Amino acid sequence: MDRFTDNIDKQIEFNQGKNILFNNLEIFEFTNDTVKAISKTDRLHVNSKQFLIDYATDKAIEEFCRVNQYYSFDSKAKNDLRKIYADLLESFQTKTDSIENISKNHYEKLKKWIKESNPFAEKIYKNDLRKVNPVACSEYSPDLQIHVLKIDIEHVMQPVLDVGCGNQGHLVRYLKNRGIDVFGLDRCKFTTPNLITADWLEYDYGKEKWGTIISHLGFSNHFNHHHLREDGNYIAYAKTYMNILNSLKVGGHFHYAPDLPFIEKYLDNNQFYMKNSGINHDDFKMTIIKKIK
């Protein structure tokens, strides 16, 4: 199985950074190794084939998110992509078409899928070059995040949830090592028990469950992006924002950066106390919301 997964990794690497919305999809190709490997998959058990379809789906989504962190893929988009990879496997096995046609059809389907699941992509990449420049998306040191989010480690109310904790979960690991009951949530694939793989718009935060919720350049950054985007999913973000606040225990806090002035002004002052501050005297601001009842 490792041989097949290595091959998927290499195939994705081969097409890395190419612009799927570029007019000429001939820039996308299957490597000879991919063609050889897929032709052998008919010998595999149905469960192994499903495993490879899921693996290719996850890897492709990871690559899209690496290029642009604002791509978002809900359960429907993921299932549609699985179907595209299942069809690809099927066309290789039935061998009723040439490799060139299989390749052309496959990349046409991928292009249609990204246009449907993330319509904003067409606007920004349609007239772009063969290669796209990735949108900056980094992970930051625990010290920097603690400073920006103004977290008082000695008195932090537990349990803690870091929303969009990053692939490395730096802050989660740091807090865990300090004996704090902490969980991280991100769409990355994790195998560590206190790091949860989930979409923050689909996760069930619960009610009066968390002592502290934190999110550094995560949820609120994307909420801002959707607020400003013409076709933004800001309603889903606003609902999740309220779900997050309602999942705090009374006396609990939500610390996030950047701030969200366009929604913070509508919060019920009887239920939430809000403090907004600048970081290092520039325009970048963070917010702490305390649930008071």
Ligand X SMILES: C[S@@+](CC[C@H](N)C(=O)[O-])C[C@H]1O[C@@H](n2cnc3c(N)ncnc32)[C@H](O)[C@@H]1O
Residues that bind ligand X (CB under 6 A): 69, 72, 137-140, 145, 164-167, 170, 186-188, 199-201, 216-218, 222
Contacts of 239 (CB under 8 A, 6+ apart): none
| Cβ at position 167, least distance to ligand X in Å | 6
Pick the closer one to ligand X by CB: 166 or 211. Answer: 166
Q: Is the peptide bond before 258 cis (omega within 30 degrees of 0)?
A: yes
The C-alpha atoms of residue 179 and residue 160 are separated, in whole angstroms, by 12
Q: How many CB atoms lie within 10 A of CB 104?
A: 15
> What is the closest distance, in whole angstroms, from the C-beta atom of residue 80 to ligand X in the complex?
17
- In terms of phi and psi (left: phi > 0; alpha: psi -120 to 50; beta: otherwise), the region of 179 is left
Contact (Cβ atoms closer than 8 angstroms) between residue 191 and residue 182? no
What is the nearest approach in angstroms of ligand X to the Cβ of residue 146? 11
**Left, alpha or beta for 217 (phi > 0: left; psi -120 to 50: alpha)?**
left
Nearer to ligand X, 103 or 184 (CB): 184
Residue 72's Cβ-side half-sphere holds a number of Cα atoms within 13 Å equal to: 20
C-alpha span between 185 and 166 (Å, rounded): 8
- Of the pair 211, 218, the CB lying nearest ligand X is at 218
| Smallest gap from residue 139 Cβ to ligand X (A) | 4
Nearest approach, Cβ of residue 74 and ligand X (Å): 9
Q: For residues 113 and 156, give the distance between their C-alpha atoms in angstroms, rounded to a whole number.
A: 43
Nearer Cβ to ligand X, position 124 or 135? Answer: 135
Q: Which is nearer to ligand X, 99 or 159 (CB)?
A: 159
In angstroms, give the least distance from the CB of 36 to ligand X: 33
Phi, psi (rounded to 5 degrees) for 254 = -115, 115
Question: Whole-number minimum distance, CB 17 to ligand X, in Å?
Answer: 18
Q: Which is nearer to ligand X, 166 or 252 (CB)?
A: 166
Which contiguous run of DSSP H or E holds residue 86?
A: helix 75-94
Give 102 or 257: the residue with its C-beta nearer to ligand X. 257
Please, which residue, 25 or 146, has the CB nearer to ligand X?
146
Paired residues of 255 in beta bridges: 214, 288
d(CA 48, CA 220): 39
Give the type of residue at 52.
L
| Helix count and strand count (H, E) for the chain | 11, 7
What's the min distance (Å) between Cβ of 170 and ligand X?
Answer: 6
